[in-house]
Structure 1
Amino acid sequence: MEVLATDTEQLIKDTAKKVFFAEGRLHATTQEIADAAGVNRASIHYYFRSRQKLFDTVFIEASTEMRNKVHSVFEEALSFKDRIGKFIEVFIEKSLKHPYLEMFIVTEFNTNPKIQLHTLRPDNEKEKLKQLEIDIENEVAEGRMKPITSHNFILTLMSLCSFPFLGRDIIKNAFSINEEEYQKLIAERKGVIMQLLFLDA
């Protein structure tokens, strides 16, 4: 039976996600999180014992939420091209909500290789990869895609989706654009990515 979080516990987790993943304050202290949540620091210690435990909890929750939302797209009865388009939409939507989550995922994997990979991997991974290979072969045969392996397709898709968020500050600085202009650039991403992946986009 699932144990539901108390209102205070949920408030702390929601605030921590905002501080860590929306605002990018990876090194925020428990006091800063408590202040942002409007609770005392003792409440964080009561529910999570330590800052690291709180971080681990919200990291896994946010990663799992993104994973479930993204992988649910591939369960929909859509064409392969439409599923990829929906995947891009969902990925961008989740990344706009938590723009620094991708950076934290990369950081966590680099510093802790033993992190639980199942929070990000799909169920029946081998079967899904095989189906992806079949879908790509069909698209290539129909002249809608250039030949590409399933692994390179995944790498290309994820790179095109992730980098605008991983390199958010670099991009804004390099292009000398403000937040509004950056958001406009992100809004154009789906169309650009689809044109790069599909010949008939």
Structure 2
Amino acid sequence: MFYRHGVEPGKLPSLSSYLERLPRGLDSYPDVVVKASVYRDSLASLSLDDCLGVLPDELRELVTHPLPVTAWVPEVRSLSILIAVRDRHFPQTEAGVDAYEEWVFERNYRLLRRPLYRALFMLLSPERLISGVERRWSAFRRGTSLRVVERSEGRADLAITHPENLFDHTVRRGMCGAFRAASVAAGARDVTAEVVDVAERETRVRVCWR
């Protein structure tokens, strides 16, 4: 049976909805790229081996033959893998999205506690982390940008500029988990991160800590 974008909605509902909103499905925004380490680290935690048969060919190739961690991959395809992980391992409810965000937080925090990163983050404070967040974002991504639009003691508002519909609800919540993990690794306490505004080409996230 033929399915638009090669995804059966009943098998991977979030991924199917995500690709439907993009102008060219998995081929959308080829110049918007991210380091392959992002999707590879996710698959090392929760695999998609049990659903290879329902993945589009392009994603199946990335899963079965992972690119080098330093290679660039279209972000639509990297995000599609993360959304497929959400579909296969978490309930299709808001509680499932909560659990997905917590998984992203825990995975990123474990990564940042490895010796390679731990020494670096020991030298950071939350304030210094925020000061360098734009540079760190651009080291892993091209075609999107992040800037600090407002900051005060214990709070920073971040604006991410991106092509239309590049991020869905799952992706935005995952980013909140990643921002929380980096803040905690830098010594922040009682960290929260929430999406405070969503526009066609911009997403705003507020990170608070003490």
Query: Larger Rg: 1 or 2?
Result: 1
Using structure 2 for the length normalisation, give the TM-score: 0.26
Using structure 1 for the length normalisation, give the TM-score: 0.26
